[in-house]
């Protein structure tokens, strides 16, 4: 009986192994390593190594900020507080968690806006991609500041639902796209955006490797390659990061020439806009690259 049960469980794991989502959703107790495998059923060393590698790739990260289930649950908890916001009803509480919204590192008005708008003014009607939107009210405030061609995504479905409620039907109708997607494998065409505005998402992606720095770098590099791929020549990747400044820098340097040619135009040192806004008022480091070829 034990042999039969184990066979089913081992086979099931082998069949579903290629799918990240399924594996992640497997109940903990249904895990090969929790069973004593009968000697006759022992897997070959190569298969064991493959499984170990796979488990390492798809295990729950040991840092909660790199964990999809953590984000999804926290956004589910925020959902009830988010006010359905019709365009122009004035209920903007960018930094108020009691409204269910939360902006990492900075809000939009007088915080991120001066630095972003200097490079990508709303007047040129730019197409902007916002990865890992969650319940960040910045996108709503960007829309109200004149950015209409907005696309946003998050890998946490409840994060997308938060954004949907926060934006309200009128803005949703006018912006370009909002969906569930993973930054490491994007459903968008090459060279289709004038700008990517990342705030905290690359941090979260880096942390998804937990203590395994090699895995962290791999996830980060996958995401940066994808973000670079979808930006047009003349466009920018604008990144606000705290958890992995050096790694983002390294990863972007590495993708130069393979995904277009890039030049860095903000390197994290103190920057002052023409209007006198200083970048040290943003609670993280601003890194920006422009695609030049
Ligand atoms: C630190 S929060 C930042 C949220 C928002 N950008 C802000 O500035 O307030 C990180 C966000 O990235 C999302 N995220 C993490 N890994 C992701 C991935 N691989 N693809 C898409 N979204 C991801 C999380 O669900 C979360 O919403």
- b vs e for 175-207, b when ≥16 Cβ sit within 10 Å of the residue's Cβ? beebeebbbbebebeeebbbbbbbbbbbbbbbb
Q: Where in the chain are the domains?
A: 2-58, 64-291
Mutate to test the pocket of ligand 1, among 134, 161, 241 (most ligand atoms within 8 A of CB): 134
Quick one: CA torsion of 93, 94, 97, 103, rounded to 10 degrees? 170
Tell me the pLDDT tens digit for each residue of 109-135: 999 999 999 999 999 999 999 999 999
86: pLDDT strictly greater than 80: no
Whether 48 and 13 have beta carbons less than 8 Å apart is answered as no
Spatial CB neighbours of 95, under 8 Å, sequence gap ≥ 6: 101, 102, 103, 107, 137
Distance in Å, CA 222 to ligand 1 centroid: 15
Distance CA 238, CA 130 (A): 10
Sheet holding 193-199, edge to edge: 177-180, 149-154, 127-131, 193-199, 231-241, 285-291, 262-267
Measured from CB, residues less than 6 Å from any atom of ligand 1 are 71, 103-104, 131-134, 136, 154-156, 159, 182-184, 199-201, 203-205
Distance in Å, CA 98 to ligand 1 centroid: 20
Tell me the pLDDT tens digit for each residue of 70-82: 999 999 998 988 8
Give percent above pLDDT 70 in the chain: 73
Distance in Å, CA 120 to ligand 1 centroid: 22
Query: What pTM was computed for the model?
Result: 0.79
Tell me the pLDDT tens digit for each residue of 1-17: 444 444 444 343 333 33
Distance in Å, CA 209 to ligand 1 centroid: 15
Q: Would you state the pLDDT for residue 259?
A: 86
Whether 128 and 149 have beta carbons less than 8 Å apart is answered as yes
Which tokens in the block code for residue 72? 């999804």
**Looking at ligand 1, which residue's alpha carbon is closest to its atom 3?**
200
Second-level CATH architecture of 64-291: 3-Layer(aba) Sandwich (3.40)
Tell me the pLDDT tens digit for each residue of 220-268: 999 999 999 999 999 999 999 999 999 999 999 998 888 899 999 999 9
């Amino acid at each position: 009986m034990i042999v039969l049960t184990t066979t089913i469980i081992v086979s099931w794991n082998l069949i579903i192994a290629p799918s990240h989502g399924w594996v992640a959703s497997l109940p903990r107790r249904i895990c090969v390593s929790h069973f004593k495998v009968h000697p006759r059923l022992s897997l070959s060393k190569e298969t064991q190594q493959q499984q170990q590698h796979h488990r390492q790739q798809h295990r729950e990260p040991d840092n909660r900020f790199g964990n999809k289930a953590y984000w999804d649950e926290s956004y589910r908890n925020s959902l009830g507080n988010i006010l359905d916001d019709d365009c122009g009803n004035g209920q903007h509480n960018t930094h108020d968690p009691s409204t269910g919204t939360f902006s990492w590192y900075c809000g939009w008005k007088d915080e991120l806006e001066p630095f972003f708008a200097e490079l990508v003014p709303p007047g040129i009607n730019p197409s902007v991609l916002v990865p890992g939107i969650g319940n960040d009210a910045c996108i709503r405030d960007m829309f109200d500041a004149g950015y209409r061609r907005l696309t946003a995504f998050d890998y946490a479905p409840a994060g997308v639902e938060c954004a949907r409620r926060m934006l309200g039907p009128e803005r949703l109708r006018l912006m370009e796209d909002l969906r569930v997607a993973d930054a490491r494998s994007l459903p968008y065409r090459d060279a289709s955006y004038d700008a990517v505005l990342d705030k905290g998402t690359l941090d979260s992606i880096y942390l998804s490797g937990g203590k395994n720095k090699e895995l962290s770098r791999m996830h980060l590099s996958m995401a940066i390659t994808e973000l670079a791929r979808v930006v047009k020549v003349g466009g920018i990747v604008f990144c606000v990061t705290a958890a992995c400044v050096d790694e983002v820098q390294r990863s972007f340097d590495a993708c130069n020439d393979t995904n277009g040619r890039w030049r860095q135009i903000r390197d994290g040192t103190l920057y002052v806009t023409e209007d006198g806004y200083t970048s040290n008022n943003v609670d993280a480091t601003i890194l920006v690259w422009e695609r030049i070829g």
